[in-house]
Amino acid sequence: MSTKNNFTVSAIICEFNPLHSGHKRLIDYAKSISDAVVCIMSGNFTQRGMPACCDKHSRARHAILAGADLVLELPTVFATSSAENFALGGVAIAKQLGANYLVFGSECGSTEQLEQCANLLEQQQTNDKIRQLVATGMSYPTAVAKATDCDVLQSPNNTLAVEYIKAIKTLGENITPKTLQREDNFHGQPQEFASSSALRSNGKLLQKFSFDFVACDVDDGIEQKYKAVAPHVLSLKTKAQLEQIEGATEGLHNRIFACNKQNGFDQMMAEIKTKRYTMAKLQRVVLASILDVTKQTVETAKTETPQISVLAMRNGFGHLLQKVNQGLDDVTKRADIFYQSLGGKPSPTKMQVLN
Alpha-carbon distance values, 214 to 12, 87, 323 (Å): 19, 25, 30
In 3-state terms, the chain is what percent helix, strand and coil (to 5)? 55, 10, 35
What is the per-residue pLDDT for 139? 78
Identity of the amino acid at 321: L
Residue 351: how many CB atoms within 10 A of its CB? 13
pLDDT per residue of the chain (355 residues) written in tens, 0 to 9: 444 468 999 999 999 999 999 999 999 999 999 999 999 999 999 999 999 999 999 999 999 999 999 999 999 999 999 999 999 999 999 999 999 999 999 999 999 999 999 999 989 999 899 889 988 888 777 888 889 888 888 888 999 999 999 999 999 779 999 999 986 543 444 456 677 877 886 777 777 777 888 988 998 899 999 999 999 999 999 999 999 999 999 899 999 999 999 999 999 999 999 988 999 999 999 999 999 999 999 999 999 999 999 999 999 999 999 888 899 999 999 999 999 999 887 788 788 999 8
d(CA 278, CA 247) in angstroms, rounded, equals 12
What is the per-residue pLDDT for 354? 92
Q: Which residues contact 87 (CB under 8 A, 6 or more apart)?
A: 13, 160, 163, 164, 166, 167
What superfamily in CATH does domain 4-220+303-354 come from?
A: HUPs (3.40.50.620)
Q: Which residues contact 282 (CB under 8 A, 6 or more apart)?
A: 49, 269, 272, 273
Q: Which residues contact 188 (CB under 8 A, 6 or more apart)?
A: none
Torsions phi, psi for 243 (to 5 deg): -65, -30
What is the per-residue pLDDT for 309? 93
Q: Where are the domains of the chain?
A: 4-220+303-354, 222-297
d(CA 72, CA 60) in angstroms, rounded, equals 8
